[in-house]
């Protein structure tokens, strides 16, 4: 069994198409097909079945894929660790983040870090709370910015970096647009533009509304802070967004108002896999972040 066979197998499994896999691998389609066939012969099982124009994994193929992805991830990390050992300032940091932190926080800390470590590369992955935890646990990323920060978790550990305030946002011309501060209950009769269910910010907003004594009327849902902000600015409702998500100025801009009762915040932390030593360059970045946020 060759490494190339495993790499081709994973690529075909992800693309579900030999031609597309071959194009990304920059090899002939016949070469990919031959390697997959040889792998199946060596294992004595069928890894794929044809379904229309696509290939789908068999049940044993799905089992094999999980193991192979783990092997390739470990191999990649081993190669990176060797490179970092030779020169830890030229390694690669694999880091995940939620969309709301990709607008301001992530670019800011990366820019500051690269002033001292200009040759370090970053591989970035955006995701939701659950997907980022999973990617850290599976070893697909080294570190992840996460919100809310989990105080205790079976598979990951880390540090709380900061707590960020959430502001109410309302359209221009809204009856509360001229206020400096409001109580959240003052929005109980408004339609809310809310995050989709898989996003942690939705839970934070729902919990805050319940604390204020009402359940919000949800008129629209979105998956990114830019979408939420734009819909509110267009007069489609009101919402709550983190302060960092409101720093970018756009043509359609809602009005932000501080909420004092209750004050709404979210915790932001940095997590890595529990019980496992970080690659050298990732540990350097982790220490930089702790210093950056005053820990």
CA angle 127, 130, 134 (to 5 degrees): 90
At residue 109, does pLDDT exceed 70? yes
From 80, 110, 141, give the residue that closes a domain: 80
**CATH number for position 48:** 1.10.10.10
Q: Domain ends where: 17, 48, 80?
A: 80
CATH number at residue 127: 3.40.190.10
pTM for this structure?
0.69
Cα distances (angstroms) measured from residue 237 to each of 24, 172, 247 = 44, 11, 20
Domain limits for position 115:
81-162+268-292
Shared domain check, 173 and 153 = no
**Interatomic CA distance for residues 55 and 162, integer angstroms:** 46
Both 71 and 116 in a single domain? no
Q: Whose CA is closest to 76, among 279, 283, 286?
A: 279
Instruction: Quote the CA–CA distance of 213 and 221 in Å, as a whole number.
Output: 22
**Residue 87: predicted pLDDT:** 65
Which residue, of 35, 63, 80, is where some domain finishes?
80
Please check whether residue 18 is in contact with residue 50, taking contact to mean a CB–CB distance below 8 angstroms: no
Q: Is the domain of 143 the same as that of 283?
A: yes
At residue 182, the pLDDT reads 97
Question: Which residues, in sequence order, are CB contacts of 130 under 8 Å at separation 6+?
Answer: 198
The C-alpha atoms of residue 185 and residue 211 are separated, in whole angstroms, by 9
Are residues 172 and 157 both part of a single domain?
Answer: no
In a shared domain, residues 46 and 191: no
Residue 18, pLDDT score: 87
Q: Of 140, 100, 104, whose CA–CA distance to 124 is shortest?
A: 140
Average pLDDT, rounded, for the chain: 91
* Domain shared by 11 and 131, yes or no: no
If one counts the domains in the chain, the total is 3
Confidence class for position 54, pLDDT limits 50, 70, 90: confident
Q: Are residues 96 and 36 in the same domain?
A: no
Those residues with Cβ within 8 angstroms of residue 224's Cβ, 6 or more apart along the chain or in another chain? 99
Say what the pLDDT of residue 84 is.
65
Same domain? For 39 and 66 the reply is: yes
The encoded tokens of residue 147 equal: 């919100």
Residue 212 sits in the same domain as residue 256: yes
CATH number of the structural domain spanning residue 207 = 3.40.190.290
Return d(Cα 174, Cα 1) in angstroms, integer: 66
- Pair 139, 284 in one domain: yes
Question: Is the Cα torsion angle 141, 131, 69, 11 positive or negative in sign?
Answer: negative
- Percentage of the chain beyond pLDDT 70 is 98
Same domain, 208 and 177: yes
E strand or H helix at 31, and its extent? helix 29-43
Asked if residue 198 and residue 275 are part of one domain, the reply reads no
Phi, psi of 195 (to 5 degrees): -70, 155
Distance CA 133, CA 54 (A): 31
pLDDT of residue 250: 73
238 close to 187: Cβ distance less than 8 angstroms: yes
User: Are 273 and 74 contacting, i.e. CB atoms less than 8 angstroms apart?
Assistant: no
* Residue 217: per-residue pLDDT: 96
Nearest to 122 by CA among 112, 137, 134, 133: 112
Which position has the token pair 């990617």? 135
**CA dist., res. 15 & res. 55, Å (int):** 9
The interaxial angle of helices 3-15 and 18-25, nearest 10 deg, is: 120
Confidence class for position 178, pLDDT limits 50, 70, 90: very high
**pLDDT value at position 88?**
63
86 pLDDT above the threshold of 60: no
């Amino acid at each position: 069994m060759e490494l190339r066979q495993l790499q081709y197998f994973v690529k075909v499994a992800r693309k579900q198409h030999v031609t597309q896999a071959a194009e990304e691998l920059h090899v002939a389609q016949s070469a990919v097909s031959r390697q997959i066939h040889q792998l199946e012969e060596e294992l004595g099982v069928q890894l794929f079945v044809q379904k229309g124009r696509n290939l789908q994994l068999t049940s044993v193929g799905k089992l094999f894929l999980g193991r192979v992805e783990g092997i390739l991830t470990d191999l990649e990390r081993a190669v990176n660790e060797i490179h970092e050992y030779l020169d830890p300032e030229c390694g690669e940091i694999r880091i995940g983040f939620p969309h709301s932190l990709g607008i301001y926080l992530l670019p800011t800390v990366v820019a500051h870090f690269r002033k001292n470590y200009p040759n370090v590369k970053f591989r970035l992955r955006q995701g939701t709370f659950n997907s980022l935890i999973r990617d850290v646990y599976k070893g697909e990323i080294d570190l992840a910015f996460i919100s809310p920060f989990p105080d205790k978790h079976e598979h990951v550990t880390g540090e709380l970096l900061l707590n960020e305030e959430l502001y109410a946002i309302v359209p221009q011309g809204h009856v509360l647009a001229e206020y400096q501060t409001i109580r959240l209950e003052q929005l109980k009769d408004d339609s809310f533009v809310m995050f989709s269910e898989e996003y942690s910010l939705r839970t934070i907003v729902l919990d805050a509304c319940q604390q204020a004594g009402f359940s919000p009327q949800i008129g629209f849902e979105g998956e990114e802070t830019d979408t939420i902000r734009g819909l509110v600015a267009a007069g489609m409702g009101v919402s709550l967004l983190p302060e960092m998500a409101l720093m970018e100025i756009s043509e359609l801009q809602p009005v932000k108002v501080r909420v004092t009762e209750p004050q709404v915040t979210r915790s932001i932390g940095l997590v890595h896999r529990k019980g496992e030593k970080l690659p050298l360059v990732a540990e350097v970045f982790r220490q930089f972040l702790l210093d950056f946020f005053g820990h």
